[in-house]
Every structure is written in C-alpha cells, then in structure tokens.
C-alpha cells in the first residue's frame, strides 16, 4: 500500500470547532473484578473528544483502540469502572490530542437481597451509567447514574377515598451524582438510597406473604412522584453528606389510571464537609 | 444515460425462493376521510412480495410507487384503510408480478369520550395496525390489531388482605382480528371491546371525583392479566358473533411490585353464523 | 362526595424545590392549519412546571386540561405550533401558579419534493420538536429541532483508494435553534438547511436514473460526520444570519464497516444583525 | 397470617384456555461456563405456560422461582444455555403443572477475531436468543437466533454506473435455526455463517489498511438484501447439512439513499442426512 493520505488532518471547508466527535453505541468486552468475582460485561459505550476548527476529522480508530486496549485486557482486571474510565481517556490522549473528552459506559449491575417474609435470596438488576469528563485546565469529573424500578401510590386518592383505596403503579427512578473522582460513592450505596426512597421495594420473586408485606408497605407509605423524587434527594444528601457532589433525581410514574406518564425532576448539592 | 441493466431480473447465485421482500419503516402522507373529517396521517408502512428462486431482486421503487400513488393522492380520499390497502396491493401487482404480498400500516387512532363524573370531553389515542395478505388461489385476508393502555388489579392480593389492599398497575392490551375483507369490524367496535375488558378505563384527564370513580371501579372489579385477556376474547366473541374471524388477545402488565412484566396470550374464533 | 382534601397543597416531608413536575408521553389530538390545510396530528407531549419547596404536589389534571383546552379545539385552529405552545403555558399559569414552565411537542412534518431526474413528486417525512420555556423575569424562549435522515461518504477511504471506492452509510442529522419567539425560522427553512448539508438528499422513491444521480452526488461530495455537522452549522449561520439564535447540530453515522455508530456535535450562535 | 386463599385455582368468569401465561422482561443473573471461563450475564427472559380453561390464574412466583433456582446457582455452572433451558422448564413442571411451556433467553455473545490486514485482535458482540418449547406428546424443540450487523452494496447501481460507484449501507442479518435438542449447531458456527454471508465483515477497529481491504471486499462482492438473505440460507444449508433443522433468515438494510429500510426474509430446511 502506498503512503496513506491523512485526510483527517486537512483543513475543513467550514472551520468551526466541534465539542464532541467520536464513537457511540459501541459494544465490547469489559472484564471487571468485584469482590473476588470476575464479570464479563458488554457495556454500551460512547467516547468523544473535541475537534479544533482547523482539523477536518478525528482519527476514529484511535478512539476505538484506546477503549479496547484498556477494557478488553484480562490482565488489567480493574475493580472500578471509574478508574478504568480515566485510564481509557488518558490512553486516548497519548494517541489523539484533545483539550476535552467524554466517556460513557452503560451496563447492568446486580445486587443481592432477600424477600421480606419468606427470606428467599434474589439477585436484582439495575442499570448503571458512568460518565467521565476530562478538560484541560479543569478537574476531572465523573458522574454515576443508577436507575431503579419502583412504584408510586397516590396519597391524594387515598386521602379522599372512604375505603382507603388508591391507585398504584410502576415508577422509574434515577439518581445521578457528579463530582471529582475521590468524591464518588459506591454503586451499592446509590442503589441503597433508591431502594429506600419508594413506597416499597420491588423483587424478582414474591411469595404470597411477601406480596402482602409489600402491599402493606405501599399503602402505609403513599407517595406522589414528587415525594419519591424529593426522598431520593433527601436520602442522598444524608448518605453522601461527607462527599462534595451535585445530585439530580428523576422519577417517572407509569400511571395506571392514565395512558400517559407523570414526571418529577430536581437537583441539589452536598457541601462535602 | 445508456440503456439500463436490469440486475434484478438476473439469475441469483443461490436459487432459493424468498417469502417477503420489500420496504419497511416507510413513512409517507396518508390522506383519509372519516365521518366528514380529513386526516393527514404519517403511518409506518411495510410492503413486501414473494421473490421466485430464479429472480435476483425485487424492483423496490415499484413497491414504493404503488404505495404512494394510492395513499398520497387527495383525490382518492379513502374512507377505509382496509379498502386502500387492497388498492395498493392490486396496483403493485400491475407493476411487479407476485404470487404473495403483504402490506402493513401502523398509525394512531382517536376516539372521543367523556370523563366518568365531571363529564369532560377528551380525545384518547390508541394504536392501530392494519395488515393485508394477498395470495394467489386464496381469499384475501386482512387483520386489524388495536392496542389499549389499561390496568390490572390483583385479585389474589385483595382476597388475602384483611384491609382489602392490593397492587394495581398499568397494563397494555391488544386485540387482533383476522378475516376476509367483508367480515371485518370497525376500529371503534374493537376499541369498545378493549375499553370494557379492563378493571377500569383510562383517561387523559381525571378530576378528583373522576379519579375516585375509576379507583372504585378498579377495586370492585379486580382482574389478573389472565382475566383481562379472557375478557377481551369473550367480549369480542359476543360483539363479533355474526362475523367469521380469528381472534387473538395479548395483555402485558407492568407490575408495580416487580421489575418485570407478566403476560397472557390466547386465541379463539367466531363461527360467523 | 364530601369536601375534597387538597393533598397537593400540604407541606411535603422533604422540603426541596423541584424544577420539572408534570406529564410526559401524553398524546392527544392537535388541530392545526398550515397553508389553508387542516391537519389532525397526534403529537407526543411533555408539559412541566416547577414546584416550590413547601408544596407537596402539582395538580396534574390542571396541566392536562391546559394542554387539551388549547390544542383539541378546532375553533382555535392555530397556524403555528410556537404560538399554540405559548397559549398552552399561559392558560396553565391561570390554572396553576408557577415561576418556570416547559412544554415540548414532538410530531411528524411533511415536505414535498421531486426526484432529481424522473421528476416524480414525493412527500418526505421529518421529525420536529418544539420546546417552549417560560420563566419569571426572563424572556420566553422557544427551541425548534428538526431531524433529517441523510448519509455520509468517507473522504479518507476515497482518497486512499486507487479505484476511488469508499464506504457510504445512512446518517441521522439534527439541527436545533433556540431564541425568542419573534426570532424563529420556519420548519421549512430548517429542513432546507439539513437537505443541503449532506453528501446527497434522500428520497422515498428513486428510479434507476435518480439513483445514479444521487450516487454521483454522494461520491462527488464525500463528507465525514464532522463535515456534515459543520455544514449544517455553516448553512444555518448563513440562512438565519438576520435572526438571533443559538444553533446546535448533531450527526450520527450508522457505519457500514462497523457495528457501532460515529457521532459529531457542535454549537454556535448567529448575532442577528 | 391466616390461611391463604388460592385465587389462582378458582374458576374464571370466562372459561377460555390460554396459550401463554407467565413472566416477561425478566432480568436475573445467569452464571455460565464456556471453554473454562465463567461468565456472569444478565439475560432478558420470558417464561410462559399454558393455562387450562377452568383455572383462573398461573402461580407467577413459581415461574420466577423455577428460573432463578436453576440459573442463579453457581454450583449448577452450566456450559450450555440449551441444557439450562430444558432444566428450567422441567423444574417448572414440578412446581406448576402445564401441557405446554415456552422459555426465551436473550443475551450478548462475544467472538474474537482479528482485523484483515493489521491483524489486531478484537472482540465482537452479537445478540443471541435461545427459545425452548415443551409440549406434552411432542418432542422438545429449541430455536437459536443469532443477529449480525453487516452491510449491503447495491449491484444494480454498480452495474449501471460508468465509474463503478454504488451505494453501500449497514444491514442487520438474523439466522434462526429450530430443531430437536441434539440437532442444534453451536453459536460460533451460526456466527460463522453470518460473517461469511455479507459483502464484507464488520469490525470494532479498522486501521486505514484494514478499511481499504473491507471496502475492496464490499465492491468486489456487491449484494442486494435478497442476495444476503439467500447467502445465509445457502451457507447454513451447507454448514448444517448433517443436522435436521428449520432455517429462517431475515436481512434489513438501512438504505443510505432512502429514509426507509428494505427487507428480505426466507425459510428452508435441512434434511439432516
């Protein structure tokens, strides 16, 4: 093959700088060791860098390479996705200059629990996204978002109903925290905040006695989507009070009496003292 | 341009006949007149024909043309999607020989109703799919599927709970009917079957008095996903008893006490006498 | 029914103010008149308001009511989604106090064109989102986002290939503009910017002569995803130079040689002089 | 808790038998050992049984339990998803009588390959679905479906273009095989069929020399969506000639010159001699 033309390094017709250029919906093998267990995950990945106004294109293969060289390698066997993310972006900087970069990894995360009465052990699955931002002259920032499938129980309907009947429905909660690397909580502690913030927890198995316990818990603790959203923020403020974090909570309720959903979103900060 | 080579008409390397070849995720303007009102819809369309073993490819542009020549034309102003579907497939047969063809149109369908107590008028939206099958030597068949967003109310939890508490959740129902063209019910009558088959109807607006009425209706009429599925089939058997139809119902319940869904599916037939 | 308890007006347990509370995935009938034609659309709607720290819940039914009272009513027959959006949020303010509100409407939008050589008339469909932000003490802001399905043609592969072969793929472009109400361009002019920014336009029908024209256009005009993104921004800067707007462009290319996508995103501003 | 009422065992109002009743969108931990490596997957699961006309409901918790008791247990450490699926359904039969049952597991599957010229090792991800059907009086049947992200290269445009230019695009292929348990091919052999059936393979990394090789391979081997579909069937017929299987192939091409997709689907059988 003759000498290759580096089209990417040419001057573009429209000299406008771009903020995010890279790969997305990229799946590859991530090997991670948590508590002595080796997990083989297939995270969904986005990795982007900024592109200066005078450069026509990013070298996309260098972006893919930086990701796979770090995360495919069993010898690296990371025990934190956060640490691994920083390594990917540092490796990328060696291969491809940038002043700003962003990496996102989305994957399933398991936690073990037991049902409330029959005490059956279950594995529950949540969805986690870890995003990392590097920018020249700024501190590295990482955000972690954890999703939880819970429920809402309408307190307004309950209050107004003579027989204490109400409507109940599945609700999807998300807690995001953003801060410097040494300020981040564990996925487990974020899951813990979410599990405690809904009218009741959800389980992959419930025997009749467990189901009754969950239902009673729901009705004793009725919550609007707004209440759940505030509860997530309040519990995160308490749980992470020693860390310096921006907190955002979103809750969406798949109403059982409507065809549409209701939503609540709010943000706050811990002061980390 | 020099004389064009008709690659599609060449012999393929692997002479295997194919059942469905055509276009999908195709959106174009559909103009239809219902009850004196002209609707401009953007249905999602799939149109396919069979391909004999000795023909390399279908002439895809003739498939698109057959669709748009019929459905874009305001002068055609159809008042039935079923009739229009047959016209598209007949037009297609003139342009492109086939022995088997299939057309699917998916679109939103409105119905007007009023809230149970405050009597507010609302427009509710459901999703409708009309599928048409033509096959040489067989009767033309059309299926209509209507989706409805309703709810389930657990009768098992209610029965076992001393305070008559239970769990409630959104549930997605679908009724499909399939038959010859002159045997098909109206979309409205299918929506009517679905609306009556759940513990309670759902509305885009509910004032407090309406909400209470819906909640009481739910708790007075608790239903498993299996109950709703059978109810759809039983009501369709009754409503469409004079038509000759294959009936299928599917209900999926977005459980409020679990992270997963539960599902029920069943089929039956009317004898059309 | 006895006097109703207004649970929403109670003090919440966790007194944290929320930014967005309301309804989402809400579909209802929107009647609009454009160029003398009445369209019946089913937009996907989100409508939210802020909730002060001392109020337990939003009155959700007042939010739904504000939407439907304006957009279902044939007598209102709006000719601009932007104007209608402001009316909805003003109506909502009468029913439910807020200091901040957001409304989003997402719907299909048609444009008519003709194929490049055979001159066949086609209707093409794009997706449009109109978002409106009202905030006390600030100017009302509206953003319009238009999506377009185009393509990219790799200039790097083309340059390096002795036979001038390259890889081509579908690419999804989006242009968003945000500004004050009297500064907004028409949907048509935004679609025009997008259509001109890709290597070639896409069509719902292409006869062989049209297909050849499109392919030649593609290869004569090879563009990275970065080039298309900059082209959208540059053409919008030119087309909307007399308006005062924030501009954002995003392009995602569904690579034909990879299982993943590549992406480019950038922002700029017109100065509106 | 007082003696529990078994609502599920009551007579339903509408005595209609149902074909599929159970859980869906169920995620839990699957531990599997392949080639000496232990993988922790989070498959998406559907598990259903038939319900006789005289029984009101299925005991849903017994369905979930049957799944988790088999697939969560590290001691079981299966080396085949097919074998594990049969175990789940047999366990389920002990807990809950049925005459018909269906289980579906959907998960990511990795294969290792190297880029064509630079010989870089990459891990590629495909999607696999294993479905198992048990029915009284019939042989157990299992189907395996493997998806692959490839491409199509229009031979018609290429033939008609004086400069041998054409349009290329991403295409999604799927091969499904169905047969008795001892007749099933490995996932690897199915992936192999798919990789060879497209104009060129796709990779997560391509250096310039690799990219050129892929592009030349594409243009030397132009294929319609119909050609790819037949190629999958022909190669599967050859590769699995000693097994007795029903084969189905589907290919969808995300056209770069259109906003819509084109599709081809066909079926055939191996005679297993």
pLDDT at residue C11, rounded to an integer: 96
- What is residue A141's three-state secondary structure? strand
Among candidates C72, C123, C212 on the partner chain, residue whose Cβ is nearest the Cβ of B1: C212
Number of folded domains that form chain C: 2
Whether C112 and C181 map to the same domain: the answer is yes
Q: Out of A4, A20, A227, name the one closest to residue C263 (CB).
A: A20
CA angle D199, D200, D206 (to 5 degrees): 155
If you average pLDDT over residues D96-107, what whole number do you get?
A: 97
Q: Is there a single domain that holds both residue C245 and residue C127? A: yes
The alpha carbon of residue B30 is apart from the nearest alpha carbon of chain D, in Å, by 16
Query: How close C4 comes to chain B (CA, Å)?
Result: 8
C254/D212 Cβ within 8 A: no
pLDDT range class, residue A234, cuts 50, 70, 90: very high
- Asked whether residue A184 is domain-assigned, the answer is yes
How far apart (Å, rounded) are the C-alpha atoms in residues A263 and A174?
11
Residue D271's pLDDT is 86
How far apart CA D9 and CA D54 sit, in angstroms, is 8
Residue D12 to residue B227, Cβ atoms within 8 A: yes
From CA C156, how far away is CA C153, in angstroms rounded?
9
Smallest CA–CA distance, residue B68 to chain C, in Å, is 8
**What is the mean pLDDT of the segment spanning D21-29?**
96
Residues C235/C182, Cβ–Cβ less than 8 Å: no
Question: For helices D187-197 and D225-239, what crossing angle results, to 10°?
Answer: 140
Would you state the pLDDT for residue A33? 75
pLDDT (tens digit, 9 = 90+) per residue, D4-16?
899 999 999 999 9
Spell out which residues of chain A touch residue D123, defining contact as CB-CB under 8 Å: 28-29, 68, 72
How distant is the Cα of C179 from the closest Cα of chain D, in angstroms?
29
Q: Point out the residue among A161, A169, A219 whose CB comes nearest to the CB of B215.
A: A161
CATH of the domain at B226: 3.10.270.10
Q: Does some domain include residue C196?
A: yes
Cα(D175)–Cα(D173) distance, integer angstroms: 7
> C11 lies in a domain?
no
What's the first-to-final CA gap in chain C, in angstroms?
61
Task: Look up the domain containing C153 and give its range.
Answer: 108-273
Residue A69 has pLDDT above 80, yes or no: yes
- Same-domain check for residues C158 and C258: yes
Is the Cβ pair C123, B209 closer than 8 Å?
A: no
| CB-CB under 8 Å, D19 with B156 | no
Chain-chain contact of C149 with D259 (C-beta, under 8 angstroms): yes
Please list every residue in chain A whose beta carbon sits closer than 8 Å to the beta carbon of residue D202.
none
Q: Which residues does B contribute to its contact with C (CB < 8 Å)?
A: 1, 4, 26-29, 37-40, 42, 61, 64-65, 68, 72, 108, 110, 120, 122-123, 125, 204-209, 212
- d(Cα D131, Cα D136) in Å, to the nearest integer? 17
**Do the strands C168-179 and C246-253 form a parallel or antiparallel pair, or are they unpaired?**
antiparallel
Higher pLDDT: D2 or D94? It is D94
Question: CA C196, CA C232: separation in Å to the nearest integer?
Answer: 8
pLDDT of C40: 78
What is the structure's pLDDT at B76? 63
Angle formed by the axes of helices A187-197 and A225-239, nearest 10°: 140
Report the distance separating Cα C132 and Cα C136, nearest Å.
13
pLDDT tens track for C41-96: 889 999 999 999 999 999 999 999 999 999 887 766 677 899 999 999 999 999 99
CA atoms within 13 A on the CB side of A74: 7
Q: Which residues contact B63 (CB under 8 A, 6 or more apart)?
A: B22, B23, B47, B48, B49, B92, B96
Q: Which of C258, A112, A32 has its CA nearest to residue D115?
A: C258
Interatomic CA distance for residues C186 and C171, integer angstroms: 23
- Domain for residue A224, yes or no? yes
For residue C119, what are the contacts with CB-CB under 8 A and spacing of at least 6?
A: none
Residues C88 and C119 grouped into a single domain:
no
Q: How far apart are the C-alpha atoms of C153 and C200, rounded to whole Å?
A: 9
Q: Does residue C126 sit in the same domain as residue C173?
A: yes
| Spatial distance between the Cα atoms of D196 and D236, rounded to a whole number of angstroms | 10
Q: Would you call A123 and D204 a contact, using CB atoms and an 8 Å cutoff?
A: no
Could you say which of B154, B170, B204 has the minimum Cβ distance to residue A170? Answer: B170
Chains in touch with B (≥3 Cβ pairs < 8 A)? A, C, D
Q: Is residue D109 part of a domain?
A: no
Predicted TM-score (pTM) of this structure: 0.96
Give the residue, B213 or C39, on which the prediction is more confident: B213
Q: Could you tell me if A68 and A47 are in contact, meaning their C-beta atoms sit under 8 angstroms apart?
A: no
The answer to whether residue A223 sits within a structural domain is yes
Which tokens sit at B210?
């309406």
Residue D162: left (phi > 0), alpha (psi -120 to 50), or beta? Answer: alpha
Mutation choice for B interface testing from D51, D58, D262, D270 by most B CBs within 10 A: D262
> Are C175 and C59 found together in one domain?
no
Closest Cα in chain B, distance from residue A216 (Å)? 7
**Is the pLDDT at C145 greater than 70, yes or no?**
yes
Do the Cβ atoms of C258 and D202 come within 8 Å? Answer: yes
Which of A32-46, C127-141, C204-218, D120-134 is predicted with the least confidence, judged by mean pLDDT? A32-46
Q: Which residue of B has its CA nearest to A207?
A: B157
Q: How far is Cα A189 from Cα A243, in angstroms, rounded to an integer? A: 13
pLDDT value, residue C76? 64
D40 or C258, which is more confident: C258
State how far the Cα of C56 lies from the Cα of C15, in Å rounded to an integer.
8
Query: So what's the pLDDT on residue D77?
Result: 64
Residue A80 has pLDDT above 90, yes or no: no
> Mind telling me how many Å the CA of B68 is from chain A's nearest CA?
32
Any chains having at least 3 CB pairs less than 8 A from chain D are: A, B, C
CA distances from A120 to A203, C111, D22 (A): 10, 58, 20
pLDDT in tens, B71-95: 887 766 677 899 999 999 999 999 9
In a domain, B235, yes or no: yes
Neighbouring chains of C at 3+ CB pairs under 8 Å are A, B, D
**Residue A273 pLDDT greater than 90, yes or no:** no
Shared domain check, C164 and C272: yes
Average pLDDT of chain B to the nearest whole number:
94
List the single residue in B with minimal CA-CA distance to A171. Answer: B256
Q: Which of A77-86, C172-181, C232-241, C260-269 has the lowest mean pLDDT?
A: A77-86
**Are residues C119 and C87 both part of a single domain?**
no
Measured between beta carbons, the chain D residues lying within 8 angstroms of A40 are: 37, 39-41, 110
- Torsion D23-D28-D33-D34 (CA) sign: positive
Q: Is residue C59 located within the same domain as residue C116?
A: no
Per the domain annotation, does B2 fall within a domain?
A: no
pLDDT higher than 90, residue A75:
no
SS (H, E, C) D59-74: CHHHHHHHHHHHHCCC
Phi/psi at B28 (5° precision): -150, 175
Residue B101 has pLDDT above 60, yes or no: yes
């Amino acid at each position: 093959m003759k000498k290759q033309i580096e089209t990417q390094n040419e001057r573009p017709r429209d000299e406008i700088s771009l903020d995010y250029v890279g790969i997305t919906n990229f799946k590859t093998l991530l090997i991670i060791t948590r508590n002595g267990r080796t997990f083989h995950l297939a995270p969904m990945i986005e990795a982007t860098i900024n592109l200066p106004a005078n450069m026509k294109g990013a070298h996309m293969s260098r972006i893919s390479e930086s990701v796979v060289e770090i995360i495919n390698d069993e010898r690296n066997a990371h025990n934190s996705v956060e640490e691994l993310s920083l390594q990917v972006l540092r490796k990328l900087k060696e291969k491809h200059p940038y002043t700003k970069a962003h990496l996102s990894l989305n994957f399933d995360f398991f936690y073990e629990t037991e049902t409330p009465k029959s005490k059956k052990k279950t594995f529950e699955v949540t969805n986690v996204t870890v995003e990392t931002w590097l920018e020249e002259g700024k501190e590295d920032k990482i955000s972690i978002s954890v999703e939880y499938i819970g429920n809402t129980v309408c307190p307004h309907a309950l209050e107004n109903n003579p027989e204490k009947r109400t409507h109940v429905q599945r609700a999807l909660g998300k807690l995001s925290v953003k801060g410097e690397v040494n300020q981040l909580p564990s996925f487990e502690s974020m899951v813990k905040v979410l599990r405690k913030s809904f009218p009741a927890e959800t389980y992959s198995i419930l025997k009749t006695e467990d189901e009754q316990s969950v239902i009673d818990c729901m009705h004793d603790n009725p919550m609007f989507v707004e209440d759940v959203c505030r509860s997530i923020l309040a519990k995160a403020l308490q749980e992470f009070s020693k860390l310096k974090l921006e907190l955002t909570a979103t809750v969406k309720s798949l109403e059982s009496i409507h065809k549409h959903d209701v939503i609540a979103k709010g943000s706050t900060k811990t002061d980390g003292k």
